[in-house]
Structure 1
Amino acid sequence: MNEQLYIGLMSGTSMDGVDAVLVRMAGGRWLAAEAHAFLPYPGRLKSELIDLQNTGFNELHRSMLLAQELGGLYAQIVTALLQNERLSPQDITAVGCHGQTVRHAPESGYSIQLADLARVAETSGILTVGDFRSRDLAAGGQGAPLVPAFHEALFGSPHETRVVLNIGGIANISVLPPGEAAYGFDTGPGNMLMDAWVHHIWRQPYDENGAKAAEGKVLPDLLAQWLAHPYLARPYPKSTGRELFSLPWLLPQLSDGLNPHDVLKTLLEFTAQSIYDAITSAAPAARNIYVCGGGIRNTALMESLSKRFAARNTNLHSTAALNLDPQWVEAAAFGWLAAAWVNRLPGNPYRATGARGPRVLGAGYPA
């Protein structure tokens, strides 16, 4: 079968920018990820997107303006990636664009990802596929997480149950049992609460290498309170986002006079413990966990996770050990999903989302 090139675009719950990954496919068969580019969001754009998490004045108009702006940014990074790789739009079969999630409400049957997909297609000159969550939601699923099917295709083993852990704004896992359909779910906060606290206190976007958290100590009562959050005990399939875990959720729980480093350290341990609890419950036999997403760069978080799992004789690895850079994984997944749409192949991990069965995901906007 002829080889085809796709570009996957992903902007996650951290809302820090958009990743683009060039992937090579043969029909629905993965061959390689070949290049990457990143375009940061302007600070104003991130703030306006976060504001849309809650109801507010004129939000429909604001959301459409932001969708247009995002469409322009997405087309911009596609063009930059093509230029970097000396490719033309005609070399690309399709762009897979996730868009920017601003509301995720599967209990109400919807999830909103802002992206003017028609603008991406019009500006880039490439067939653009997006709106990946709606069909799964229509089939009774959560519409998230969407990546377990991709993880299964790339990282599954016929000999062992593997877990892929993505630590973005929200953390999610894919459990890959040999010979069975993948499943997974959002475990709870990843970087989101830590990033929000660091920005609130220090006006910095994140805690580089976990250095500030390393200066603090755990506040056990607060940690126990957070670990009692009902979402964590809810059975999967399940998914979450800023609707549950955000600065407005966090601040009312903090008393005056707390050391900000201690709060950050406790948030880090909240993320680590909730991930550990989810994996040991959903995949107790797993002995190899492959990590991707921005959280892999938080040295203190990775050390905390490694210490927990070492006691179970379970090893943490980067997905680089399976030939895919941890920063490329999520964007690559949407290139893979675009190929699935073009070839009319099911892309939803229905066991993970709870949908009634396999479905072809997405909607296409021709060039």
Structure 2
Amino acid sequence: MHPTEEAAVSTRVIGLISGTSVDGIDAALVEISGTELDLKVELLAGVTYPYPAELREKILAVGAGVAISMAELAEIDDAIAQVFAQAAQNIQTGHQPTTLIGSHGQTVYHRPPADRGIGTTPHSPLPTPHSLLGYSLQLGRGGLIAHLTGITTVSNFRVADIDIGGHGAPLVPRVDAYLLSHPQEGRCIQNIGGIGNVAYIPPRHGDWLSKIRAWDTGPGNSLLDLAVEHLSAGAKTYDQDGNWAASGTPCHPLVEQWLNQDYFHLPPPKSTGRELFGVAYLHQCLKDAQAYQLNTADILATLTELTAASIVHSYRTFLPEMPQRVLLCGGGSRNLYLKSRLELLLASIPVLTTDEVGLSADFKEAIAFAVLAYWRHLGIPGNLPTATGAPQEVLLGEIHQSYS
């Protein structure tokens, strides 16, 4: 069957992802039809399923570089697959059966290509060239998800792009292009998960697809969540609506100092993760803040300002032109204080959420991996070379058939 014929019939797909904040598994059940310009997606259900506390702690420890045995790694890999499979089964309740799952899994390590990437600590921002190819590890193996659910599962989306020299990130911009582009308006789709990433989508005419630019802007919620947990002695894991930060005052000299970090000045394509903007980076930030005698609210306000300022700095430095509209998604889109700081720094540019243009801000990433699985099933490339730095388009994801 030709892909366009198969795509004429709508398909139910489940998208699964847990981001760098390790908040839980975002699951989206969607109805998809069309292929690219005629792509249509309807969200039938979206739920976030928290990780069991013990598993979350193990994931965070692995991501922070704690040494474990191969046997322990295998156990965590299987445990993540099991909770992903359970999420896929639960979200189908009350709906017609699903025939396909797209699972991003849980990233525990990401190293960009050495010739264009960044280092893994705040003290050595430029890497020793171990390899010209990057490396990215997502746990929660697709084969086990397929076995447990009885549903064909596409996983390991980043590898094909990395294998030809790309960053394997960001992967969502191609989906953004077909779901959120506008005929006359240039837009920035700004995801604020643990890490922030942007897709600049020019007006949809002419050779518009080749003009899309995308990259990781830097920290999103990662530093904020780590800081909240540290400053509250574990009593809180995130800043609800940004209220704690909003009660403080950002220290602008400190933000300017932090913006001198090499990553912010590295031209796209580029990608990053908790390997750089993680626990060690937070402790360096807290050490830097001591000179200014900031209280806890001021520290949070300053870290929030870093996220906002790094996003805006990224636009002004690397975009061909500023967008006419910014659309936020991800958990950070619910941080009202962060959103207000972005609005202030972007001046006259409207800042909305993707909810306001018809695409769930909370589940957009999960929806995207459902689409990427659907494209893989149809034989349609999923990466965007201008975003990942890969030399060409490739099919993304490994297909795991169910034999149960």
TM-score (norm 1): 0.95
Question: Structure 1, residues 87-117: CA drift from partner, whole Å, max 9, x if none?
Answer: 33xxx22100000000001224210000121
Q: How does 1:162-181 map to 2 (within 5 A)?
A: 162-178=187-203, 179=205, 180-181=208-209
Q: How does 1:112-191 map to 2 (within 5 A)?
A: 112-178=137-203, 179=205, 180-181=208-209, 182-191=212-221
Mapped pair 1:285 → 2:291: no
Measured in 2, the distance between the counterparts of 1:198 and 1:285 equals 32
Runs of 4+ in structure 1 deviating by more than 6 angstroms, as ranges, are none
> Per-residue CA shift, 1:26-64, capped at 9, x if unaligned?
253333222112101123222211211244433433222
Give the 3-state SS of the residue equivalent to 1:270 in structure 2: helix
Residues 340-355 of structure 1 aligned to structure 2 (within 5 Å): 340-355=375-390
Alignment of 1:36-47 (within 5 A): 36-47=46-57
Q: Distance in 2 between matches of 1:60 and 1:106?
A: 23
Deviations 1:185-233 (A, max 9, x none): 0000001101100001112110111111112122233222211110000
How far does the alpha carbon of each residue in 1:130-171 deviate from its partner, in whole angstroms, 9 at most, with x for none?
A: 000000001110000001000001001121211101010001
Q: How does 1:1-367 map to 2 (within 5 A)?
A: 1-26=8-33, 28=35, 29-83=39-93, 85-88=94-97, 92-107=98-113, 108=131, 109-178=134-203, 179=205, 180-181=208-209, 182-202=212-232, 203=234, 204-255=236-287, 256=290, 258-283=294-319, 284-309=321-346, 311=347, 313-367=348-402
Q: Distance in 2 between matches of 1:57 and 1:165?
A: 34
The one-character-per-residue Cα deviations of 1:278-308 (angstroms, maximum 9, x if unpaired) are 1233333311111100011111101111111
Q: Which amino acid aligns with 2:301?
A: K
Aligned residues: 361
Distance 2:149 2:339 in 1: 38
Find the aligned partners of 2:313 and 2:252 in 1 and give their Cα distance.
Answer: 17
State the alpha-carbon separation in 1 of the partners of residues 231 and 322 from structure 2: 40
In structure 2, how many angstroms separate the alpha carbons of the residues matched to 1:86 and 1:341?
23
| Whole-Å separation in 2 of the counterparts to 1:55 and 1:296 | 29
Q: % of aligned pairs identical?
A: 37
Deviation at 1:123, TM superposition (A): 0.8
Name the CA distance, whole Å, in 1 between partners of 2:95 and 2:246: 44
TM norm structure 2:
0.86
Runs (5+) with no aligned partner, structure 2: 1-7, 114-130
| Residue aligned with 1:326, SS | coil
* Structure 1 counterpart of 2:186, one-letter code: T
Q: Distance in 2 between matches of 1:292 and 1:220?
A: 26
* 2:125 corresponds to: none
Would the aligned equivalents of 1:163 and 1:286 in 2 still touch at CA under 8 Å? Answer: yes
What residue identity is the alignment partner of 1:3? S
List runs of 5+ in structure 1 lacking aligned partners: none
Letter in 1 for 2:387: A
Q: Distance between the aligned counterparts of 1:187 and 1:35, measured in 2?
A: 29
C-alpha displacement of 1:254: 2.7
Q: How far apart in 1 are the matches of 2:252 and 2:359? A: 37
Q: Report the residue type matching 2:62 in the other structure.
A: L
